[in-house]
Structure 1
Amino acid sequence: MSQTTDPTAPADRFVRYRWWGLLAISLGVALIIMDSTIVSVAIPSIVDDLGISSTEIQWVQEIYTLLFAALLLTWGRLADRIGRRRMMLIGVVIFIVASVLCAIADSGALLIGGRALQGLGGSMILPTSLALLNANFHGRERGIAFAVWGSTIGGMAAIGPLAGGWLTENASWRWAFGINVPVGLLIIAGLLLFVAESSEAVAGAVQRLDLGGALLSILGFGALVFGLIEGRNYGWWTASEDAPFDVAGLSPVPVAFLVAVVALTAFVLLERARSRAGKGVILDLSLFRIPSFANGNITALIVSFGEFGLILSLPLWFQNVLGFSAFEAGLALVPLAAGSFLASGGVAALSRRLSPIAVVRIGMVLEIAAIAALALLIRPDSTAWLTSPVLFVYGMGVGLATAQLTSVVLADVPVERSGQGSATQSTARQTGSALGIAVLGTAFFTTLQVGTEDRLADAVAGDPTLQGLVDSVNASSGGSIAALAANPQTAFVADAARAAMTDGTSLAAWIAASALVVGLLSSLRIRPEVGAVAPERADAA
């Protein structure tokens, strides 16, 4: 096995301009992460313009994540074979085309189709971005590159709502998608000019692609993420009224989980059999014999569970409890992005004194402290002066932990299998994110519903017509609070809903902090010396 480079361009040019290449790769990551969050603040305008149903709203937001997570492993492995830069270029082109379709959509169906295509393109970009960094940077520079990559994820998750809010209020929701076109063209130019191609050179005859493994992984991870996302909507066991179908009253969610278990079990058995027979595989299970890779993926899944739940609840709390506009809600998350980007600048200095896993643990401690402080301090009358310093500290933790955790996971993975390794790590993160959104979202919305009903139980008993107002709070995920507050006769309903939503945000924060504590404990199984010597091993490879 050996790394190959593009023979059509001088290798020294790619080395000389590798930091410009890092910028192009980071922009690619920024594109897909920002687009996964930018839509949330544009939804009200999309509903007004297209008149889409609540079911279509859910799929506009969720089809992207569903396809994204399901296809990561497949494209990561294929990129090893056909070229990682080539795969990323294909993904960016697909993403641009999909963004145009979303921007010109005149119906919910076309918008959902465009979002599905975006998920397809995004699933090609993320694993190949990591593989390209692993192949084109070495030693201490690799740690810095991973730091920038990880900070981009944390920062863009916060900047997405800000950009979406500004574009929606000052132009149109369509520009939330249209902005991807010029950015995508810049990424394509940067990849072609500054990033060297890398791929897996296979000795002897070219092995056939593992189509069976690809199909089983897509089915398994797709069903798993579907179940995690839709559990709250369709019912975790008994079918709700919104469920598209039921099996003798059974929700489609446990059916999806059963399909996931069967498909993923078959996937593991197939990959093991093909590996023993010397055939090509989508997932090389031997990678999990590398302690840093196996333990790092477990930690990455748990950390993603805690990190992404906060991004789900805070924008809703800012808008519906504090009364911020979509743009102001995005602005309130900027300290998170600032802390994340600042942390990336400090990684280089820290890495001279500490191993990558030590930096990960410092970052996780900062995250835990910040989220716990938020859970303790927020009130219905809080201001951005309270949340800003807390989110800044949290962002610093994200910048340190996310980036260096990637470095730890891939530290001992051979360069020729970096596409496969990075895709596995990305799949672990996406699965953790989906689980976090499902669990923390359920805690958040359940507390909103139960808390509002409990606070207004006596009032509803005296005037049953108030039940409709309570139901409107739950149905709109708190969106009706502003209208209720504007009417003096219903302001008390808004006050109760604000208090309940604050309790839900606090509960979600406590759960996220608890998950991060578990992630911190799991990181103790990763030996510090593995991360410390990894750069030198990588150079030797």
Structure 2
Amino acid sequence: MSTVAGTTDPADPASKAGEPPSKSPWGALALLSLGVAMIIVDGTVVNVALPSMIKDLDMTFADAEWVNTIYALVFAALLINFGRLADIRGRKLLFLVGIVVFVAASMFAGQSDSASQLILARFFQGIGAAIILPTTLSSVNTLFTGKSRAIAFAVWGSVIGGMAAVGPLLGGWLTTYHSWRWVFYINLPIGLMVLVLSIFFVPETKDPSARRGADPAGSVLIGAGLAALVFAMIEGQQYGWIKPTAAFSLGALTWPADAPVSIVPVAFLFSAACLTAFVLIERGRNAADKVVVLDLSLFGLKSFRWGNTTALIVSLGEFGLVFVLPLYLQNVLGFTPIKSGLYLAFIAAGAFLATPLVAKLAQKKGSRFVVMVGMVFEAVSVAGIALVVQPDTGTEIIPLLFTYGIGIGFATAQLTGASLADVPLEESGQGSGTQSTSRQIGSALGIAVLGAILAVGLGAFTKDQVSRVPGVTAEQADQISQAVRSTGGGAITELRAQPGSEAIVAAADDAFVSAMRLTVGLAAIFILFGLLAASRLPPGQLHDPPGEPQQDPAAAGSA
């Protein structure tokens, strides 16, 4: 049987052979939890600060999308590989390396003076996160056994969930009263403390039974394929979906504006070719019993196949929604970042409320039922947001954000267990890593897809609405619509500061709300597709593989 890069069997006693036990593993648990908490916070604070970043760095809306998607893409492409490297070289060693990379990238991000610098910093943050996450998961599995392991994962999950709730508020407070740069600088003192203390209090562990080897071709193909796909969806507005509207340059290479076809459909074709080659190569390596990035044979299991499909689709809707909401709250309603963070905190509050109810309901009705109930909550709440969103007040969406959080609490808490229910015990680590990758892919695609829809809607609706304002020429309407589209609505705040622009601002606000309704409505449709996928999960009681947490960190981060 093939081995997936980046996984280990934490439940197999052989995986602990030769590993020194820790006399006091609880201090190590605290440090490992803080390491993961940095990743979770980083994923939640950035969205609230994005409008300020767009303004200060003169970023385009496409740049803002890349700030988030590049992080998720790198995370997804490297997560499993670094996990396996940690099993071989040492989990503590890789954990420390990950902290160094993440902290250094955070400093670089805080000092960025341009969009390209910030995107590059987020690229390296994604590398650091991809190193930290699997090393902490496998370390906690190794350091604890029996009832202590259950307690350890409960503490670990509580820290992660708590930081997911605090993240939007922390990001809003730092951006409002200090600067958006501090949403990255905050990682420095935490990371340095974790780094120094981990040297003394986190024991080194390895998996002597882990197979050596790598799958560089698989890693390159899945990374390149996903990157090209996201590029095409994000940059379609800039370079033209079919015919070129602008020249594209990458280093010394240039795709001219007078080419017969845009670079965007070429990117779509390149993505399809890379992902097809990835599947073929992984199947071949799997048949030859070689190390692979993803063990595609696991997708032959109905529960695993539909569980991962559900996780990807739900993440697509969830992360896309959380990306566009702060733009609406700050650019249309004029909220401060901290007030935006308070609104987003209602999502986490709903998730916390649902958590204590999940286990009992799962025991009575089964995990599939709980997942589907959660997704019904999500779909209805998101559809409700699309219906009630207004250009003058946001209070109507508060209860819907809360019920949306309840849906997340129900769905994500059980989805991992439902997906792994039929996965053989010796491959439970591989299955868990694959689902974390699926969630990250879904989050990247969600931001790209829903961001593209919002951009298209902003351009079209703004031009239509503004052109109806008396005294505005067609040329002026086109210029205003381009400005609103390219800044993700940020130009509305600048228009609002100009005397005599009330009618234009009102038209732009209405246009943003129309684009918001379209985008959020499509997010609800994505979640409904996820509900259909969840209905294909096998019924029955939840039976997580021993040694695995019921909720992976990627799921916790979505709250």
Cα distance in 2 for partners of 1:400, 1:238 equals: 45
- Which stretch has the larger CA shift, 49-58 or 253-262? 49-58
- Which stretch has the larger CA shift, 138-147 or 247-256? 138-147
Determine the structure 1 residue equivalent to 2:221: 216
Q: Secondary structure at the match of 2:500?
A: coil
Q: What's the offset of the Cα at 1:367?
A: 0.9
Q: What's the offset of the Cα at 1:179?
A: 0.6
Q: Which of residues 355, 359, 362 in structure 1 aligns to 2:373? A: 362
Q: What's the offset of the Cα at 1:460?
A: 6.4
| TM-score (norm: length of structure 2) | 0.82
Cα distance in 1 for partners of 2:162, 2:134 equals: 19
Cα distance in 1 for partners of 2:497, 2:386 equals: 28
Determine the structure 2 residue equivalent to 1:289: 300
Cα distance in 2 for partners of 1:195, 1:345 equals: 33
Cα distance in 2 for partners of 1:333, 1:362 equals: 22
2:469 counterpart of 1:459: yes
Q: Secondary structure at the match of 2:15?
A: coil
Cα distance in 2 for partners of 1:91, 1:54 equals: 30
Determine the structure 2 residue equivalent to 1:510: 521
Equivalent pair of 1:293/1:410 in contact (CA under 8 Å): yes
Determine the structure 1 residue equivalent to 2:418: 408
Cα distance in 2 for partners of 1:143, 1:350 equals: 19
2:104 counterpart of 1:97: yes
The 1:284/1:460 distance shift into structure 2, 3 A limit, reads same
Determine the structure 2 residue equivalent to 1:246: 255
Q: What's the offset of the Cα at 1:300?
A: 0.8
Q: What's the offset of the Cα at 1:492?
A: 0.8
2:237 counterpart of 1:237: no
Determine the structure 2 residue equivalent to 1:524: 535
Equivalent pair of 2:101/2:125 in contact (CA under 8 Å): yes
- Which stretch has the larger CA shift, 152-161 or 513-522? 152-161
Amino acid at match of 1:171: H
Deviations 1:208-261, CA, capped at 9 Å, x for gaps:
322333333332333333334433443333333274343724333322232222
The 1:319/1:190 distance shift into structure 2, 3 A limit, reads same
Alignment of 1:374-413 (within 5 A): 374-384=385-395, 386-413=396-423
Q: Which of residues 24, 36, 41 in structure 2 aligns to 1:34? A: 41
The 1:486/1:275 distance shift into structure 2, 3 A limit, reads closer
Q: Secondary structure at the match of 2:364?
A: coil
Q: Secondary structure at the match of 2:16?
A: coil
Q: Which of residues 106, 130, 133 in structure 2 aligns to 1:123? A: 130
Q: Secondary structure at the match of 2:291?
A: coil
Cα distance in 2 for partners of 1:447, 1:429 equals: 26
Cα distance in 2 for partners of 1:121, 1:302 equals: 25
Amino acid at match of 1:448: L
Amino acid at match of 2:244: A
Cα distance in 2 for partners of 1:442, 1:56 equals: 12
Determine the structure 1 residue equivalent to 2:3: none
2:507 counterpart of 1:496: yes
Equivalent pair of 2:218/2:292 in contact (CA under 8 Å): yes
2:326 counterpart of 1:315: yes
Equivalent pair of 1:135/1:415 in contact (CA under 8 Å): no
Q: Secondary structure at the match of 2:261?
A: coil
Cα distance in 2 for partners of 1:191, 1:291 equals: 43
Deviations 1:347-401, CA, capped at 9 Å, x for gaps:
34434434333221221111112112212222222233x2222111111211221
Q: Secondary structure at the match of 2:403?
A: helix
The 1:141/1:277 distance shift into structure 2, 3 A limit, reads same
Cα distance in 2 for partners of 1:195, 1:513 equals: 45
Equivalent pair of 1:234/1:253 in contact (CA under 8 Å): yes
The 1:266/1:519 distance shift into structure 2, 3 A limit, reads same
Deviations 1:131-189, CA, capped at 9 Å, x for gaps:
55666788999899888888887876675443233212322333221111233345554
- Which stretch has the larger CA shift, 299-308 or 235-244? 235-244
Structure 2: unaligned runs, 5 residues or longer = 1-8, 550-559
2:437 counterpart of 1:439: no
The 1:509/1:469 distance shift into structure 2, 3 A limit, reads closer
Cα distance in 1 for partners of 2:446, 2:128 equals: 23
Q: What's the offset of the Cα at 1:336?
A: 1.0
- Which stretch has the larger CA shift, 216-225 or 143-152? 143-152
Cα distance in 1 for partners of 2:87, 2:68 equals: 30
Q: What's the offset of the Cα at 1:451?
A: 1.8
Equivalent pair of 2:315/2:443 in contact (CA under 8 Å): yes
Amino acid at match of 1:224: L
Amino acid at match of 1:184: G
Alignment of 1:188-203 (within 5 A): 188=195, 189=197, 193=201, 197=205, 199=207, 201-202=209-210
Q: What's the offset of the Cα at 1:504?
A: 1.7
Q: Secondary structure at the match of 1:39?
A: helix
Count residues with an aligned counterpart: 530
- Which stretch has the larger CA shift, 514-523 or 99-108? 99-108
Cα distance in 1 for partners of 2:342, 2:75 equals: 27
Q: What's the offset of the Cα at 1:120?
A: 1.1
Cα distance in 2 for partners of 1:101, 1:405 equals: 36
Cα distance in 2 for partners of 1:234, 1:153 equals: 40
Determine the structure 2 residue equivalent to 1:333: 344
Amino acid at match of 1:182: P
Cα distance in 2 for partners of 1:150, 1:236 equals: 43
The 1:305/1:232 distance shift into structure 2, 3 A limit, reads farther
Amino acid at match of 1:454: D
Determine the structure 2 residue equivalent to 1:176: 183
Cα distance in 2 for partners of 1:449, 1:375 equals: 19
Equivalent pair of 2:93/2:204 in contact (CA under 8 Å): no
The 1:452/1:191 distance shift into structure 2, 3 A limit, reads farther
Deviations 1:14-73, CA, capped at 9 Å, x for gaps:
4xx49x83x655544442243244334445655676677888666545433342333234
Structure 1: unaligned runs, 5 residues or longer = none
Q: Secondary structure at the match of 1:388?
A: helix
Alignment of 1:100-179 (within 5 A): 100-105=107-112, 110-129=117-136, 159-179=166-186
Equivalent pair of 1:65/1:119 in contact (CA under 8 Å): yes
The 1:213/1:342 distance shift into structure 2, 3 A limit, reads same
The 1:389/1:151 distance shift into structure 2, 3 A limit, reads farther
- Which stretch has the larger CA shift, 370-379 or 40-49? 40-49
The 1:178/1:486 distance shift into structure 2, 3 A limit, reads closer
